Structure 1
């Protein structure tokens, strides 16, 4: 089983080839090829390589599929007995990423 741990959009992801991932928004157009270089760990057929902090010899070939808004989150603030109530909604921007291969 081949997998890698990468750092992208401020978070770390365990990724495998030919799988889809939803990450924080990347300001790139859909159907754009992306080369990810921030690889922290690589497991290839049981051989583990750990970067310090990144592996320079490993790249991830990925494709941006689409950008969309996530599910709405309701934020409600209230102070009892003071008639203070605030209701806000928030939808974060997300990106779907498809991993083609680990090189």
Structure 2
């Protein structure tokens, strides 16, 4: 087990994130436009090359630990960003059935739903150098 991990908030939920691991997020397919996307919790930069994965920058970092250092946000850490790669392909879960019935009324409805998700691999961690400069990022952890 590694000593480097962080807890981020995205899509209304909190995720324990470790380096070089894959996670499935459920809201990226519906929120993914053609060029770029800015949200409160993440930014997606699409690449024109098919072989290169899209980059996602998560801004809402709650907790970060790196070896012996622990950083706690109140509620978020403004200085840290987590970069991830959006891998191609859409995954579907098994079908969830919802069955509605009213007794003595001859009313029956069976509805099936498959939740879709996209897989994300977390790559690196950045620390923002200047408080007003958004593009000035310092590389903090390789292989995060």
TM-score range for the pair, normalised by the shorter chain length? 0.7 to 0.9
Aligned Cα root-mean-square deviation (Å): 1.8
| Distance apart, 1:7 and its partner CA | 0.7
Q: Does 1:88 align with 2:90?
A: no
Query: Cα 1:94–1:44, aligned 2, differ >3 Å: closer, same or farther?
Result: same
More displaced, 24-33 or 3-12? Answer: 24-33
Query: Mapping of 1:1-103 within 5 angstroms?
Result: 1-26=3-28, 27=32, 31-71=53-93, 72-103=95-126
The Cα of 1:92 is off from its aligned counterpart by: 2.1
TM-score (norm 2): 0.64
The count of aligned residue pairs is 103
CA gap 1:87/1:69 in 2 versus in 1, 3 angstroms: farther
Change (3 A) 1:78 1:69: farther
Deviation at 1:67, TM superposition (A): 4.5
Q: Tell me the TM-score normalised to structure 1 length.
A: 0.87
> Which one has the bigger strand percentage?
1
- Which fold has the larger relative contact order, with Cα–Cα distance below 8 Å and residues 6 or more apart in sequence? 1
Cα 1:81–1:37, aligned 2, differ >3 Å: closer, same or farther? same
